[in-house]
Amino acid sequence: MEEKIIKLLEEMTGESVSRDTDILSDLGLSSLEIMSLISDLEEEFDVKIKAKAMKKVETIGDLVDLITELKEG
């Protein structure tokens, strides 16, 4: 799952990313790009990501952990 998320972000941004990459400061994604990312992740992993949960996500690792938690929950 982590590899899929990283690949999706690399395709979206054209940047190389890792678990430690900060979504806002390192990638500089706009709010529209973040909404698109959330939509893509929800579709890819069949989960519903709430805005409240996304507020706690800062890095790619946080995002991977959130989706893992939602899949297992």
pLDDT the model gives residue 19: 96
The pLDDT value given to residue 73: 79
**Which tokens hold the place of 60?**
């790619």
Tens-digit pLDDT string for the chain (73 aa): 899 999 989 998 899 999 999 998 999 888 898 899 999 999 999 999 998 999 999 999 999 999 999 999 7
26's tokens: 């390192």
Range(s) of the domain holding residue 63: 2-72
Q: Are 18 and 6 in contact (CB under 8 A)?
A: yes
pTM of this prediction? 0.89
Total domains, the chain: 1
What pLDDT is stored for residue 63 in this prediction?
96
CATH at 29:
1.10.1200.10
Q: Are 60 and 26 in contact (CB under 8 A)?
A: no
Helix (H, G, I), strand (E, B) or coil at 46: coil
